[in-house]
Structure 1
Amino acid sequence: MAGIKYEIIKTEGVISESSRGWTKELNLISWNDRPPKYDLRDWAAGHEKMGKGITLSKEDLKNLRDILNEMDL
């Protein structure tokens, strides 16, 4: 993406992989030299292309964890 600088600080995990080789990942990413946040999105191999995703603060991620733990999955 032109004009957007990012650095993947840590890959927390790969959630799934598509038949095209893209992976849905939870990463800790610094966007435009800002403090890192948790990010959930699809990535092409080598992280050269990305899909739309969501960025979460640590508090957001904790709240999501609590919601998922309460769900009957």
Structure 2
Amino acid sequence: MSKISYEVIEHLAVLSENPKGWKKELNLVSWNDRPPKFDIRDWSPDHSKMSKGLTFSNAELTQLKKTLTEIDI
């Protein structure tokens, strides 16, 4: 199994933190030297480990933002 490489290009926000110090973050991340995408996932305190997460292109994040403004939360 090949190793996945990543680079956090820009840290945008911490959405939450659990008691063990892991933080759910919104970041701009380049995966395997590809163009960066918006990424939401939990990260360990030193960013050496991560959970499964979601990645969004600019168009997808724009649509998500539009949808969130239209729904009653």
Same fold (TM over 0.5): yes
Letter in 2 for 1:29: V
1:65 matched to 2:65? The reply is yes
Whichever residue aligns with residue 59 of structure 2, its letter is: E
User: For the residues of structure 2 that align with 1:46 and 1:10, how far apart are their CA atoms?
Assistant: 15
1:1-73 maps to which residues of 2 (within 5 A)? 3-73=3-73
**What is the aligned-residue RMSD (CA, Å)?**
0.9
Q: Give unmatched runs, 5+ long, in structure 2.
A: none
Q: CA offset at residue 60 of structure 1? A: 0.3
Distance 1:11 1:69 in 2: 23
When the two structures are superposed, what TM-score results if normalisation uses the length of structure 2?
0.95
Identity among equivalent positions (%) equals 53
Query: Greater strand percent: which structure?
Result: 1
Greater share of helix residues, 1 or 2? 1
Q: In structure 2, what is the Cα distance between the partners aligned to 1:70 and 1:47? A: 34
Deviations 1:6-53 (A, max 9, x none): 000001100000111100000000000000000000000010100010
Give the TM-score, by structure 1 length: 0.95
The alignment covers a number of residue pairs equal to 72
The AA in structure 2 aligned to 1:8 is V
